[in-house]
Amino acid sequence: MRAATFHGPGDIQIDDVPDPEIQKPTDAIVRITHTAICGSDLWFYRGQQRYADGGRVGHEPMGIVEEVGSEVTTVKKGDMVLAPFAFSDGTCEFCEQGLQTVCSHGGFWATPGHDGAQGEAIRVPWADGTLVAVPEEVRGDEAMLKALFPLNDVMGTGHHAAVCARLEKGGTAVVIGDGAVGLCGVLAAKRIGAERIIAMGHHADRLEQARAFGATDLVSSRGDEAVGEVLELTKGGAAHVMECVGASSAMKTAIQVARPGGWIGYVGVPHGPAEDGIDIMTMFFKQLGLRGGGAPCRAYMPELMPDILNGTIDPSPVFDMTVDLDGVPEGYAAMDQRKALKVMVEL
């Protein structure tokens, strides 16, 4: 089979790799129909993160079950399924708490010993705890499949930011970041019923999409000027802040724009000196709460899927470029050069 592989900074290639096989009775083999390129994939693409030469890439799988192990009971051959960016057994103490990204026996795609999702097929460990079947009636409805697909990463992650920020109906939220996760964070805040949603970012087209998703205010300035704008808009800060970038500057901004007694939900994966943005002294005197981490998208899929199926939310506009498997290198380059927000790969 064919799959995208890493061969050095700026060098993604499509190579022949071994076909996946059932290794354990809890495994499934899924033929990929849709996958994507993530902003976090750009770290190794830009040489900012070490990555094995020839290693498979990608962590957002959707496809058709081709084979299941003898102990798999929740999906069967022929089912169309979504898989979150982390696989999990579904039964450990952390999975039972809805924290599948810290599953005792789980892991992440495209890590040593596990397949990457930007390829023709993957082996899914712990299929019962990982895979979620797509309703049979929407198979063939490409628009609906494109709307459901972000549940495996960016939509679930944006929702996690709102949950961790303790956002409730009628609240005011500040969403930091205008990438795919930040935009989905705006959509999640709108779904929850936030009365005011302030989107912070630096790209006019993305901020306009944030407005389309429900943002009531847009802040495009930087640094202290941006902080000042938010503090003025909120008369002293927001009780619910969603950090969707992962950079130290974003975390610093989150702490500055949070209202005393408020909560920060952080889901931007820390990269580089992100911890430098955590001003504990300011948090201490502002009585701020901080919670976040890798989003347990598997926990949120059953909750969010019905609202996509009934049209309440549609995160599909975060995809502004579509390629086939051979176009994956082009997709990486487009995202690296900010010519695309998020690239969908259709096989």
Residue 183 has pLDDT above 90, yes or no: yes
Residue 271 has pLDDT above 80, yes or no: no
Give me the chain's average pLDDT, please: 96
Contact 190, 169 (CB under 8 A): no
Q: Which CATH architecture has domain 156-292?
A: 3-Layer(aba) Sandwich (3.40)
Same fold, 2-153+296-346 and 156-292: no
Residue 274 has pLDDT above 70, yes or no: no
What local confidence, expressed as pLDDT, does residue 80 receive? 97
Q: What is the pLDDT of residues 205-220, one digit of tens each?
A: 999 999 999 999 999 9
Q: What is the pLDDT of residues 102-114, one digit of tens each?
A: 999 999 999 999 9
Residue 68: both structure tokens together: 């299941």
What local confidence, expressed as pLDDT, does residue 234 receive? 98
Residue 119 has pLDDT above 80, yes or no: yes
Secondary structure in 3-state letters for the chain: CEEEEECCCCCEEEEECCCCCCCCCCCEEEEEEEEEECCCHHHHHCCCCCCCCCCECCCCCEEEEEEECCCCCCCCCCCEEECCCEECCCCCHHHHCCCHHHCCCCEECCCCCCCCCCECEEEECCHHHHCEECCHHHCCCHHHHHHHHHHHCHHHHHHHHHHHCCCCCCCEEEEECCCHHHHHHHHHHHHHCCCEEEEECCCHHHHHHHHHHCCCEEECCCHHHHHHHHHHHHCCCEEEEEECCCCHHHHHHHHHHEEEEEEEEECCCCCCCHHHHCCHHHHHHHCCEEEECCCCHHHHHHHHHHHHHCCCCCCHHHCCEEECHHHHHHHHHHHHCCCCCCEEEEC
Q: What is the pLDDT of residues 74-108, one digit of tens each?
A: 999 999 999 999 999 999 999 999 999 999 999 99
What local confidence, expressed as pLDDT, does residue 276 receive? 65
Which phi and psi (to 5°) does residue 216 adopt?
A: -95, -25
Q: What is the pLDDT of residues 50-66, one digit of tens each?
A: 899 999 999 999 999 99
User: Residue 270: pLDDT band by 50, 70, 90 thresholds?
Assistant: confident
Residue 200 has pLDDT above 90, yes or no: yes
What local confidence, expressed as pLDDT, does residue 45 receive? 96
Residue 137 has pLDDT above 90, yes or no: yes
Query: Is 2-153+296-346 CATH 3.90.550.10?
Result: no
Confidence (pTM): 0.95
What local confidence, expressed as pLDDT, does residue 203 receive? 94
User: Residue 294: pLDDT band by 50, 70, 90 thresholds?
Assistant: very high
Residue 5 has pLDDT above 80, yes or no: yes
What are the residue boundaries of the structural domains of the chain, listed by start? 2-153+296-346, 156-292
Residue 168: both structure tokens together: 């409730």
Residue 273 has pLDDT above 60, yes or no: no
Share of the chain above pLDDT 70, in %: 98
Least confident range from 8-22, 132-146, 261-275: namely 261-275
What local confidence, expressed as pLDDT, does residue 285 receive? 94
Residue 272 has pLDDT above 70, yes or no: no
Average pLDDT over residues 7-13: 97
